[in-house]
Amino acid sequence: MSLKLAKGLLQKLRDIVGDKYITSEPLATFVYSQDASVFGGTEAELVIRPGSTDEVSRILHLANEHRNPVIVRGGGASIYGQPKGSPGSNLLLDMTRMNRILEIDHESMTVSAQCGIIMGKLQHPCRQAGFYLFCPFAPLQIVSLGGWISGAAGGGGIWRDIISLTVVLPDGTIVKTGGGPGSNINQHLFYNRNLGGPDFTGLFIGDGGSFGVKTEATLRLTRFPEVMRASIFQFHDLGKVLEMIKRHVECVDPHPFYPIMVFGSGAMRNFMPDIGEGDSFVVMGMMQGHVTQEMDAKLDVLHALGEALGGQRNPALDAMAAAMAASSSSESETMMDWLSFFNALGLACWLPFTLPRRGFAENYQKLISWRQKRLEQAEQRGYRCGGTFEFFTPPDQSTIIGEIDIFFQGTPSPEMFAFVRSTMYAFQEYSHQLGSIDVYNQGMMSNLHARLWSPGFRQLYQTIKSALDPNGILNPDLWVHEQSNFKER
């Protein structure tokens, strides 16, 4: 173990979590230096798997005393890497042991769980109880609840469904936001972020893990949508696709169950060989709800919109839509297959964006042109790669979230990894110029986002951070706009 870890610290930490849940074995800690991203994980000196809020509190208290950086990791599924901290003295909290569901409240329609739980494990009992946790397009089987709240939900996901958080502040103080005993509302019966003062829940959503360690959360549930309808159109004109999205948003609220998703035919060909060649747009509308007549009516609306704009249906598309409807599942369930599907496409160079609907067509074409140049550069280096694209209407109806990812085929080399890293970095720099902000708030992306902050906002962030974390121990290199070290890694 490094001399940077103070004498006696290891034993004190062992006393907190027990021998079984702490390791300083070099091979065990080495494994945490990688995650799902091309940017890598954290070089940790110690890995600890706490089992309770109290244990997290005591660990942070000790880390403060000894000035050791603490890096928090959930499912290890971030696509932008993890904070690097200070190799040699990092304590890494692997939160996935905190994976219990605490309560499903049928009457209030809420679920409370520990934040290390993987979202798929959380979704399953909710569904068994007849409920559905709306968390669209997250790879549920690999993302932890805490990681999702810290990293993705704040950027256009379902922040409004997160109604209470238990957070351990960097100094070890335990706070509960939004409702319940000891919260800023301090009433047993309330889970409501609008009541009882400032909405501190929002402070911790999308913070990347900077302000505290989320240990428990209460989320709003909806009844599981038993009725599903789907329709798929093919368009050759982006303008028509965007017009369809616009009209759909105007007449059907896409939240929580009616997204319009647009895919490139290249990606869809794996599912539908008959889709045909060319850069067409496959527009999928999914309606999920509780009343058959309502869903049929919404399907009629979608059909009318698609047909009015010249969208094409064909037997292959109709069969796919029928299969989706017959599955009676939510999009969350289909995401499991999406993950395996994407993994099979090759080494992913994720190029996500969130752009306003206004001016989308022009900006989208610019992004596509940018990617085309990058694809040519990749080919010059001898890489075989292909692009996909997809975009959809998030709950925030004024924007469109999408990705124009590149998948590199063949066995990846270190040079290929470096090229992917630099492409992801450069894409975000470029898309920011067009007004895009990505939904993720982790690793490299937090640093990129911080560059765009106004001086006032930066000062506000730094004031809050230094008040909560005076020693700067918790996920220390997040939101540090001066650093661009992710680019070089």
Partner 1 sequence: MGKKEMKALSAVSHFVYNCRKCGLCGSKCTAKLPYVCPIKEATGGFEHSSARGKIILAQGLLEGKITPSRELAEIIFHCTLCGNCQTQCGSIDNATGLPLVDTPRIIEAIRADLLREYPEFIDRAYQTMITSTSQYDNPWGISRATKERWPKGLSLKDAQNESHEVLLFAGCTIPSNPSLESRARKAALILKKAGVDFAVLGRKEPCCGSVQKRVGAIDLAQEMMKNNITLLNNLGSSTIITLCAGCYHMLKHDYQTAGTPLKPKVYHFVEFLSQLIKKGKLPFKKKKTLTVTYHDPCHLGRTMRIFDPPREILKALPGITLVERVATRENTICCGAGGGMRILEGGILAEEIGKAALEMVRDAGAEALVTACPFCELNLEAAAKNLVSPLAVYDITDLVSECSGGEE
Minimum CB distance to partner 1 smaller for 271 or for 430? 271
Binding span for partner 1 by CB under 8 A among 30-38, 61-69, 252-260, 362-370: 30-38
Indicate which single residue of 1, 15, 30, 462 sits in contact with partner 1 (rule: CB under 8 A): 30
Minimum CB distance to partner 1 smaller for 70 or for 118? 118
Indicate which single residue of 203, 412, 426, 451 sits in contact with partner 1 (rule: CB under 8 A): 412
Rule CB under 8 A: say whether 131 interacts with partner 1. Answer: no
**Which amino acid appears at position 385 of this protein?**
C
Minimum CB distance to partner 1 smaller for 24 or for 397? 24
Q: How far is the CB of 251 from partner 1 (least distance, A)?
A: 35
Rule CB under 8 A: say whether 139 interacts with partner 1. Answer: yes
- Residue window 252-271: x/- pattern of binding to partner 1, with contact defined by CB under 8 A: ------------------x-
Rule CB under 8 A: say whether 94 interacts with partner 1. Answer: yes
Rule CB under 8 A: say whether 2 interacts with partner 1. Answer: no
Q: How far is the CB of 412 from partner 1 (least distance, A)?
A: 5
Rule CB under 8 A: say whether 146 interacts with partner 1. Answer: no
Indicate which single residue of 8, 15, 28, 372 sits in contact with partner 1 (rule: CB under 8 A): 28
**CA angle, residues 350, 135, 208, in degrees to nearest 5:** 60
Binding span for partner 1 by CB under 8 A among 23-31, 167-175, 191-199, 316-324: 23-31
Rule CB under 8 A: say whether 327 interacts with partner 1. Answer: no
User: For the chain, what is the HEC assignment?
Assistant: CCCCCCCCHHHHHHHHHCHHHEECCHHHHHHHHCCCCCCCCCCCCEEECCCCHHHHHHHHHHHHHHCCCEEEECCCCCCCCCCCCCCCCCEEEEHHHCCCEEEEECCCCEEEEECCCEHHHHHHHHHHCCEECCCCCCCCCCCEHHHHHHHCHHHCCCHHHEEEEEEECCCCCEEEECCCCCECCCCCCCCCCCCCCCCHHHHHCCCCCCCCEEEEEEEECEECCCEEEEEEEEECCHHHHHHHHHHHHHHCCCCCCCCEEEEEHHHHCCCCHHHCCCCCEEEEEEEEECCHHHHHHHHHHHHHHHHHCCCECCHHHHHHHHHHHHHCCCHHHHHHHHHHHHHHHCEEECCEEEEECCCHHHHHHHHHHHHHHHHHHHHHCCCCEEECCEEECCCCCCEEEEECCEEECCCCCHHHHHHHHHHHHHHHHHHHHCCCCCCCCCHHHHHHHHHCCCHHHHHHHHHHHHHHCCCCCECCCCCCCCCCHHHHC
| Footprint of partner 1 on 345-404 (CB under 8 A) | 347-348
Rule CB under 8 A: say whether 294 interacts with partner 1. Answer: no
Indicate which single residue of 32, 80, 383, 425 sits in contact with partner 1 (rule: CB under 8 A): 32
Rule CB under 8 A: say whether 36 interacts with partner 1. Answer: yes
Q: How far is the CB of 323 from partner 1 (least distance, A)?
A: 18
Tokens for 478, please give them: 């997040």
Indicate which single residue of 66, 84, 97, 176 sits in contact with partner 1 (rule: CB under 8 A): 97
Minimum CB distance to partner 1 smaller for 51 or for 259? 51
Q: How far is the CB of 200 from partner 1 (least distance, A)?
A: 30
Minimum CB distance to partner 1 smaller for 343 or for 433? 343
Q: In 121-134, which positions are buried (b, 16+ CB within 10 angstroms) versus exposed (e)?
A: bbbbebbeeebbbb
Rule CB under 8 A: say whether 96 interacts with partner 1. Answer: yes
Binding span for partner 1 by CB under 8 A among 81-89, 216-224, 230-238, 341-349: 341-349
Is the previous residue joined to 256 through a cis bond, with omega within 30 degrees of 0?
A: yes
- Specify the residue for token string 């900077």: 210
Give the total of residues touching partner 1 (CB under 8 A).
Answer: 43
Q: How far is the CB of 339 from partner 1 (least distance, A)?
A: 6
Binding span for partner 1 by CB under 8 A among 91-99, 103-111, 204-212, 252-260: 91-99
Binding span for partner 1 by CB under 8 A among 7-15, 124-132, 214-222, 385-393: 124-132
Rule CB under 8 A: say whether 338 interacts with partner 1. Answer: no
| Footprint of partner 1 on 199-238 (CB under 8 A) | none
Minimum CB distance to partner 1 smaller for 11 or for 340? 340
Q: How far is the CB of 19 from partner 1 (least distance, A)?
A: 9
Indicate which single residue of 31, 129, 249, 434 sits in contact with partner 1 (rule: CB under 8 A): 31
Tokens for 52, please give them: 């309770």
- Cα 314 to Cα 267, 391, 410, distances in angstroms: 18, 22, 34
Rule CB under 8 A: say whether 344 interacts with partner 1. Answer: yes
Asked if 189 contacts 166 with a C-beta cutoff of 8 angstroms, the reply is no
**Which amino acid appears at position 305 of this protein?**
L
Interface contacts to partner 1, rule CB under 8 A: 20-21, 23, 25-28, 30-36, 47, 49, 75-77, 94, 96-97, 118, 120-121, 124, 127-128, 139, 141-142, 270, 336-337, 339-340, 343-344, 347-348, 411-412, 414
